[in-house]
A and B are shown apart, each in its own frame.
Chain A
Amino acid sequence: MSEIVIKGGTLVDRSGERRGDLAIEAGRIVAVGDDLSGSTVLDADGCIVTPGLVDLFPALGQPGHEESETLETAARSAALAGYTALVAAPTSSPVVDNASMVRDVLALGASTACDVHVAGAITVGAAGERLAPVGEMAALGVRLFTDGDSGVQDDRLMRRAMEYAAGLGVTLAQHCENAALSEGGHMHEGARSAMLGVPGVPAEAEELMVMRDVTLARLTGCRVHFRRLSTAGSIGIVRAARGSGMAITADVTAHHLVLTDERCETYDPVYKVTPPLRTDDDVAALRAAVADGVVDAVVSDHCPHELHQKECPFDQAPPGVVGLETAPSVLLTEVGLAPTALVQQLSVGPAALAGLADTHGGTLEPGRPANIAVLDPTQTWLVDPASLASRSRNCPFDGWSLRGKARHTINNGEPTVIDGEAQR
Chain B
Amino acid sequence: MTSHLISIRDLGTAGIERILGLSDHFLEVSSRRIPKVPALRGKTIAWLFWEDSTRTRLSFETAAKRLSADTLNFSVSSSSVKKGESLRDTVETISAMGIDAIVVRHGSSGTPHQITQWTDASIVNAGDGWHEHPTQALLDSYTITRELGPLAGRRIALVGDIKHSRVARSNVWAFTMLGASVTLVAPATLLPPSLEGWPVEVTEDMDAACADADVVYLLRMQLERQHEALVPDLREYTARFGLTSARARALGDDTLIMHPGPMNRGVEIAADVPDLPRAVVTNQVANGVVTRMAVLYELLGSGADLPTDAEVEASV
**Pairing of A with B:** yes
A interface, CB within 8 angstroms of B: 189-191, 193-200, 202, 266-268, 308, 311-316
- The answer to whether B88 and A313 have CB atoms under 8 Å apart is no
Q: Determine the interface band of chain B, counting residues with CB < 8 A from chain A.
A: 20 to 34
Query: B166 in the interface, Cβ–Cβ < 8 Å?
Result: yes
Query: Which residues of B have CB within 8 Å of A311?
Result: 86-88
Distance to closest chain A CB from B93 (angstroms): 13
Determine whether the beta carbon of A313 is less than 8 Å from that of B87: yes
Chain A residues with Cβ below 8 Å from B113 are 266-267
Taking a contact as CB atoms under 8 Å apart, the answer to whether A197 and B86 are in contact is no
Does B179 interact with chain A (Cβ within 8 Å)?
no
For residue B197, CB closer than 8 A to chain A, the reply is yes
Q: Is the CB of B194 within 8 A of A190?
A: yes
Contacting pair B114 A308 (CB below 8 A): no
Known A266-B113, A313-B111, A314-B109; judge A191-B197 contact (CB<8 A).
Answer: yes
A319 to chain B, nearest CB (A): 15
Q: A217–B196 Cα gap in the complex (Å)?
A: 38
Q: Which residues of A contact B129 (CB under 8 A)?
A: 197-198, 315
Closest to B128 in A: A197
CA distance A202 to B192 in the complex (A): 12
* 20 A-B pairs (CB sep. < 8 Å): A190-B196, A194-B192, A194-B194, A194-B196, A195-B192, A196-B109, A196-B110, A197-B109, A197-B128, A198-B130, A198-B131, A199-B130, A267-B111, A267-B114, A308-B86, A311-B87, A311-B88, A312-B86, A313-B87, A313-B114
**Chain B residues positioned under 8 Å from A198 (CB to CB):** 109-110, 129-131
Across-interface contacts of B195 in A (CB, < 8 A): 194
**Among the listed B108, B132, B169, which residue makes an inter-chain contact with A313, where contact means beta carbons less than 8 Å apart?**
B108
- What number of residue pairs across chains A and B have CB atoms under 8 A from each other? 70
Given the complex of chains A and B, what is the CA–CA distance between A248 and B192 in angstroms? 35
Nearest residue, chain B, Cβ from A199? B130
What residues of A have a CB within 8 angstroms of the CB of B130 in the complex?
Answer: 197-199
Kindly list 7 other residue pairs between chains A and B, CB separation below 8 angstroms, not including A197-B130, A200-B193, A313-B111. Answer: A194-B193, A195-B169, A267-B110, A268-B114, A308-B86, A311-B86, A313-B108
**Set of chain B residues within 8 Å of A202, measured between Cβ atoms:** 193
Q: For residues 85 through 109 of chain B, which have their beta carbon under 8 Å from a beta carbon of chain A?
A: 86-88, 106, 108-109
- Closest-CB distance, A264 to chain B (whole angstroms): 9
Residue contact A197 to B88, C-beta cutoff 8 Å: no
- Per the bound structure, the CA–CA distance linking A194 and B194 in Å amounts to 6
CB contact between B108 and one of A191, A195, A316 (< 8 Å): that residue: A316
Instruction: Please give, as numbers and ranges, the residues of chain B lying within 8 Å of A197 by CB-CB distance.
Output: 109-110, 128-132, 166, 169
Residue of A nearest to B169 (CB): A197
Q: How far is the CB of B68 from chain A (nearest CB, A)?
A: 33
**What 5 A-B pairs have minimum CB-CB distances, sorted nearest first?**
A267-B110, A313-B108, A197-B131, A197-B130, A194-B192
Per a CB cutoff under 8 Å, which of B110, B166, B192 touches A314?
Answer: B110
Q: What is the chain A residue whose CB lies nearest that of B193?
A: A189
Q: Which residues of A contact B166 (CB under 8 A)?
A: 197
Q: Which residues of A contact B86 (CB under 8 A)?
A: 308, 311-312
Within 8 A of A (CB), among B111-128: 111, 113-114, 128
Closest to B168 in A: A197
Mask, B162-196, CB within 8 Å of A = 1, is 00001001000000000000000000000011111
Nearest to B91 among chain A residues (CB) is A311
For residue B193, which residues in chain A have a CB less than 8 angstroms away from its CB? 189-190, 193-194, 200, 202
Which residues of chain B are within 8 angstroms of A193 by Cβ–Cβ distance?
A: 192-194
Give the residue name and chain of the A residue nearest to B129 (CB).
Answer: A197
Within 24-81 of B, Cβ neighbours of A (below 8 Å) are at: none
Contact of A308 among B88, B132, B196 (CB under 8 A): B88
Residues of chain A with a CB closer than 8 A to B194's CB: 189-191, 193-194
- Chain B residues closer than 8 Å to A315, beta-carbon distance: 108-109, 129
Chain B nearest Cβ from A92, distance in angstroms: 23
Contact at A313–B110, with CB atoms within 8 Å? yes
Q: In the complex, what residue of chain A is closest to B117 when comparing beta carbons? A: A268
Question: Residues of A contacting B114 with CB < 8 Å?
Answer: 267-268, 313-314
Query: Which residue of chain A is the closest to B162 with respect to CB atoms?
Result: A194
CA distance A32 to B169 in the complex (A): 65
